Amino acid sequence: MQDLPADLADPLHLADPYPFYGLLGALATLLLLALLTVLWWRRRRRTVAAALPPAPAPPTGASSGIWKAIEDVRLRFFRSQDYRRGCHALAALLRAHLEGTTAQPLSTLTAREMPAAIGDGAVASFFELLAELQFRRRRPTLEEFRGACDLAHAVVGTKP
C-alpha cells in the first residue's frame, strides 16, 4: 500500500455484506416456520373441535345428573386435548357416583380391588380399562377417550 499524505491512516476494512444477508435469511426462515407451526396448530384444534361427536341421549330420571357431569368432563377435555387428565377426572367422577349409590368407600381401592368390592363385572372392567388409559406410557388418543366416555355412559345406565 502507498503511504497516504498528511499522515492519514488506511481506511477501515468493512466486513462483506454476504454473512449479514445470510443471517437475515435464516431469521426470516425461522419466523416463517414459526408462523406455519402456529397456523397448523390452530387448524388442528379447529378440526378436533369439529369432530366432537353428538352426546348420547340422557335418560330421564335420577341418573340424568351423572350423565350431564360425564358430558361436562367429555367436552372440557375434548377442548383442552389432555385426554389423560380427562381419564383421571372421569374415574374420580364415577368413583364418587358409585360411592353415593352403593354406600361403599371406593376412593381408596385400586382398579384390581374394585371387582370384589362392587361385584359388578362390567363396572370393574370399566375401571381396569380406565386405569390402563390413565397410567400407561403412551397418551390416550381422542378415540380412546371418546370410547371411555361412551363406556362410562353405559356403566351409569346399568346402575340404578
DSSP letter (8 states) at residue 10: P
Q: Supply the pLDDT for residue 160.
A: 37
140 within 8 A of 84, measured Cβ to Cβ: yes
94 within 8 A of 148, measured Cβ to Cβ: no
Q: Is residue 23 part of a domain?
A: no
**Cα 53 from Cα 76, distance rounded (Å):** 14
Whole-structure pTM value:
0.54
DSSP letter (8 states) at residue 112: T
| Domain membership of residue 96 as a residue range | 59-158
Q: Is residue 104 part of a domain?
A: yes
**Sequential pLDDT tens for the chain (160 residues):** 566 666 666 666 666 667 778 888 899 999 999 999 999 888 777 665 555 455 555 455 545 678 888 888 888 888 888 888 888 888 888 888 877 766 666 666 776 676 666 666 777 778 888 888 888 888 888 888 888 888 888 887 754 3
Quote the number of domains for the chain: 1
Q: Is residue 19 part of a domain?
A: no
Q: Is residue 150 part of a domain?
A: yes
